[in-house]
Amino acid sequence: MTNWKVILSIAKTHLLSKMKSTVTASLGVTFGIGAYITLVSFMTGLNKMLDDLVLNQTPHIHLYNEIEPSKTQPISRLAEFEGAFNVVHSIKPKMSQQKIHNALPMMHYLNADPRVRGASPQLRAQIFYLSGSIELGGSLVGVDILEEARLYNMRDYIVQGSAEALKNTDNGILLGAGLAKKMSLDLGDRVQISTVDGTVTPLKIVGIYQSGIAEIDNVRSFSNLKTVQRIQGEAENYVTDINVKLYDIAQAVPMASALEKQFGIKATDIQEANAQFETGSNIRNIITYAVSITLLIVAGFGIYNILSMLIYEKMNDIAILKATGFSGKDVQYIFMSQALLIGLVGGLVGLIVGYILSRLIDKVPFETDALPTITTYPVNFNMGYYLIGITFAFISTFIAGYLPSKKAKKIDPVRIIRGN
């Protein structure tokens, strides 16, 4: 039977009477945990921001028609040449239409799928921007702007004007930020658009779009789907791309290949498009944990030293406790609970220090052209990391306290009492 009340009161008295060492040991834990919380909050905040930068803008599945040579050449269809080794030289792809066949029923079908958060149509057109004597090549994307805003955080990238303004303006355009700069255009100005076959249409600039990726901002602009269909002289069912966003990104790969078979269309999934992306996040996580664990190991050695010293100083106490009926285990628990109390106090203070530092970082200005909506450093305040932090504190102090307390358990009271 272990009488915890007595054990804890002895542990408390020991800790309070050695305030200096207690504080030193606790500070070690505080630094370790504080650094962990700060680092992990900042690093995961950064990771999330970079993920958002690429992943949020990217559809999970992208459906389009690709111009490619037919996989089955006519000669293979002939029964007479079945099993023969046919050689066809200089195969050219057939000019197929870019339009997705039956795009509207397909969208209905996709939007009804419970795995799909949303499927949005796009019409991509190659055009020229004309402004005075300037003529720039680029692309104009016809979109359902409110769907884009809902699914791909489009609003974050509209630095001037708004998504609603585009929706409400028939001949409106969200001009790429790079283009606007090159052509010295601003909100409310007009820009002439020329299609490949020479039709010129004036469009009113209702917003400036900045994705943060210069190659995109220098060529791409957005307009309403209907506007682009009209510029191109196409019908209302003319759609070249369908972007699908799913609830679960892991579904992207199987679903893309299923859609490819089902509709006879090219479907790329997000993993294919951003394979290298995970690597960066993983490395940042490894760095965070390596630094934190190193700090905690250092703190652990500190606790180990202080407890070893304490046990050496408390030899007499240990002998008396054992002589008056405390078992070896009781004595071990006394010193273990001291280690864990140091872990608890140091860990909790560490969490608070980490939280305060994270708050400070969250307030530090961080402005970059690449990220128009971000004004301060990104920090992730996730309760889960605080739980991991306090668990870390307990594990490291437990290990650091275990060895010295085991020594205390084994001390022979007779030898101490005789020694005097």
CB of 419 to another protein, least distance (A): 10
Select from 123-131, 209-217, 219-227, 323-331 the region that touches another protein (CB under 8 A).
323-331
Contact 134, 38 (CB under 8 A): no
Does 309 help bind another protein (rule: CB under 8 A)? no
Subset of 154-173 contacting another protein (CB under 8 A)? none
Q: How many residues does the chain have?
A: 420
CB of 3 to another protein, least distance (A): 5
Collapsed DSSP state (helix, strand, coil) of residue 419? helix
Does 23 help bind another protein (rule: CB under 8 A)? no
Subset of 395-414 contacting another protein (CB under 8 A)? 413-414
Which phi and psi (to 5°) does residue 47 adopt?
A: -60, -45
CB of 17 to another protein, least distance (A): 4
Distances in Å between the alpha carbon of 320 and those of 276, 286, 333, 363? 64, 48, 16, 55
Nearer to another protein, 262 or 316 (CB): 316
- Residues 336, 337, 343, CA angle at the centre, nearest 5°? 95
Closest of 24, 17, 9 to residue 304, by C-alpha: 24
Select from 3-11, 78-86, 157-165, 250-258 the region that touches another protein (CB under 8 A).
3-11
The secondary structure of the chain in percent helix, strand, coil, rounded to multiples of 5, reads: 55, 20, 25
CB of 400 to another protein, least distance (A): 23
Nearer to another protein, 86 or 327 (CB): 327
Does 20 help bind another protein (rule: CB under 8 A)? no
Nearer to another protein, 279 or 324 (CB): 324
Subset of 330-359 contacting another protein (CB under 8 A)? 330
Q: Which residues contact 354 (CB under 8 A, 6 or more apart)?
A: 33, 34, 35, 36, 37, 38, 41, 386, 389
Contact 303, 400 (CB under 8 A): yes
Q: Are strands 266-269 and 61-64 parallel, antiparallel or unpaired?
A: antiparallel
- The terminus-to-terminus CA distance of the chain in angstroms comes to 31
Nearer to another protein, 300 or 413 (CB): 413
Does 13 help bind another protein (rule: CB under 8 A)? yes
Select from 4-12, 54-62, 154-162, 163-171 the region that touches another protein (CB under 8 A).
4-12
Does 325 help bind another protein (rule: CB under 8 A)? yes
Contact 160, 207 (CB under 8 A): yes
Closest of 54, 139, 154 to residue 370, by C-alpha: 54
Does 417 help bind another protein (rule: CB under 8 A)? yes
Count CA within 13 A, CB hemisphere, residue 55.
17
Select from 12-20, 209-217, 279-287, 376-384 the region that touches another protein (CB under 8 A).
12-20
Distance CA(402)–CA(255), nearest Å, equals 52
CB of 327 to another protein, least distance (A): 4
| Choice from 76, 111, 282, 316 touching another protein (CB under 8 A) | 316
Does 320 help bind another protein (rule: CB under 8 A)? yes
| Choice from 136, 266, 328, 377 touching another protein (CB under 8 A) | 328
Select from 8-16, 31-39, 152-160, 394-402 the region that touches another protein (CB under 8 A).
8-16
Nearer to another protein, 6 or 388 (CB): 6
Q: How many CB atoms lie within 10 A of CB 90?
A: 4
Q: Which residues contact 393 (CB under 8 A, 6 or more apart)?
A: 29, 32, 33, 296, 343, 344, 346, 347, 350
Distance CA(197)–CA(209), nearest Å, equals 26
Please work out the total of residues on this chain that contact another protein, with binding judged by CB under 8 A.
28
Nearer to another protein, 220 or 314 (CB): 314
Contact 296, 343 (CB under 8 A): no
Collapsed DSSP state (helix, strand, coil) of residue 215? helix
Select from 1-9, 156-164, 267-275, 355-363 the region that touches another protein (CB under 8 A).
1-9
Residues making contact with another protein (CB under 8 A): 1, 3, 5-6, 9-10, 13-14, 17, 316-317, 319-330, 413-414, 417-418, 420
